[in-house]
Amino acid sequence: MESKVTFIHAADLHLGAPFRGLRAVSDEWATRLTHALYEAYDRVIAAALERAVDFVVIGGDSFDLSETSYGDYLHFVTGLKKLEAANIPVFIVAGNHDPLTSWQHDYFELPANTTLFSADRPNFALVRKAGQPLCIIGGRSYFNQTWPEDVSIAEGITRSAARETLRPTNPDIDQAPFAIGLIHSGLNLDPYKAPTTPTELERSGMDYWALGHVHMLYLWPDAHDPRIVFSGCIQGRDIKETGPRGVYEVTLRVNAPVKLSFIPTASVVWQQLEVDVYDCANVLDIQNKIMRELFRVNGKARCEEMISRITLVGATPLCRFLENETTLEDLRVNLNETYPSFFCDAIINKTMMPLDRSKLAAEGLFPSVFMRIASEQQASADDELYYLEEAFTQRNLSSLLTRLKDVDELASEAETLVLDLLTKDDRS
């Protein structure tokens, strides 16, 4: 009997996803990202082959659209066949983007190594190695694009139910040392997408839960046995999906902690950057500083190509020039032409003119009065916090107490913003 099992946990491939928003800015980069999705999937397959894993699980949304093209299916199945040739099984659940009703079986037939779990009940499979039972896999797919909010998608996916179901054809099922669950669910992070609770998963008797739907790497913080894990999407699709994207290589050992190894798969990463331009003498200096920051961030991203959205901040006399949309667009175009492997989709100006606070105080006008009152309020932290807490409560917002450490910083930022607005015309 094998004392360990190693597998790839992937999810949210979203093959065939359109890039309509980006296409309006750059048709070339929208097309590049379409290819990047294929490349990311190819890297998932390559990782499984290079590591000779025992199997691969895909936690839903393999396709982005309910009406996916033949080309998308062909690319997908070609990857599965490569795994079949290496005797690596694949287990898939359908998600809300690619529910069972949308799979175009007239386009293709899944290879013999691939199991697509049904949606009408919990499904169970047994992976064997050298003829011996190795790992139980339990899962359930979406049938259509919605899931009943009052039904847990994980209901019935337990180790005991798997043994009961599989025992008639696998009398040695109890010898399987490992068991994992596979679902496409928002857990309790997104109650509208096949919700379930960490408590239910923890009581299932499984060693690991492989989840899809949440597009970021996320490990349920309080779960140690079993591990409850989102592997995230394999390729970021918009500016909200920044940073490295990929899959997990998971290793389970008897009586040992779960080992997770992140494998990056994205060939293009998205980044949001803030660049403080307070020390720039002219707009060319700003362009050069942005470029240095792009290289710095890209060096940490483990990826050659990058799409960025840049926000300029800081107090600078150049603020009046940066308020001109033509200047910002010229700056963006110049950046994109300077280094073709980077693409900036937007530059946002949040700079402000420098404030001479001593001069404002000496003038004795309204800005001076405002600064005095703001200073008095900030000197009494309890009164300041009470005022903010009351305002939050009146608007049915969550308590501010958990963000207590941010209050002084927020108050300072608010004072600076008001002063900037009050004196803007005088400093133009």
* DSSP secondary structure of 330-362: HHHHHHHHH-TTEEEEEEEE--B----HHHHHH
- Cα–Cα distance between 265 and 62 in angstroms, integer? 15
pTM for this one? 0.81
Q: Quick one: pLDDT at residue 391?
A: 73
Please determine, for residue 404, whether its predicted confidence score (pLDDT) is greater than 70. no
Long-range contacts made by residues 129-132, C-beta under 8 angstroms, separation at least 24? 129/2, 129/54, 130/2, 132/1, 132/2, 132/172, 132/175
pLDDT digits (tens, 9 = 90+) for 407-416: 566 665 665 5
Question: How long, in residues, is the chain?
Answer: 428
pLDDT digits (tens, 9 = 90+) for 7-22: 999 999 999 988 767 8
137 in Cβ contact with 90 (< 8 Å):
no
- Cα–Cα distance between 233 and 140 in angstroms, integer? 19
pLDDT digits (tens, 9 = 90+) for 309-330: 999 999 898 988 898 999 999 9
- Cα–Cα distance between 158 and 181 in angstroms, integer? 8
Name, in order, each residue with C-beta under 8 angstroms of 302's C-beta and a sequence gap of 6 or more: 244, 264
pLDDT digits (tens, 9 = 90+) for 18-74: 876 787 778 889 889 889 999 999 999 999 999 999 999 999 999 998 778 899 999
- The pLDDT-based confidence of 152 (bands split at 50, 70, 90) is confident
Please determine, for residue 278, whether its predicted confidence score (pLDDT) is greater than 80. yes
Residue 3: how many CA atoms within 13 Å on its side-chain side?
4
* Mean pLDDT on 330-342: 93
DSSP H or E segment with residue 227: strand 227-230
pLDDT digits (tens, 9 = 90+) for 63-84: 998 778 899 999 999 999 999 9
Q: Which residue's entry shows tokens 């094998």? A: 2
- The pLDDT-based confidence of 157 (bands split at 50, 70, 90) is very high
Nearest to 124 by CA among 52, 172, 182, 197: 182
Cis peptide, bond prior to residue 122, ω within 30 of zero: no
- The pLDDT-based confidence of 354 (bands split at 50, 70, 90) is confident
Q: Quick one: pLDDT at residue 85?
A: 98
* Mean pLDDT on 172-181: 96
- Cα–Cα distance between 286 and 307 in angstroms, integer? 18
Please determine, for residue 120, whether its predicted confidence score (pLDDT) is greater than 80. yes
* Mean pLDDT on 110-114: 95
* DSSP secondary structure of 270-281: EEEEEEE-TT-S
Q: Quick one: pLDDT at residue 377?
A: 64
* Mean pLDDT on 327-348: 93
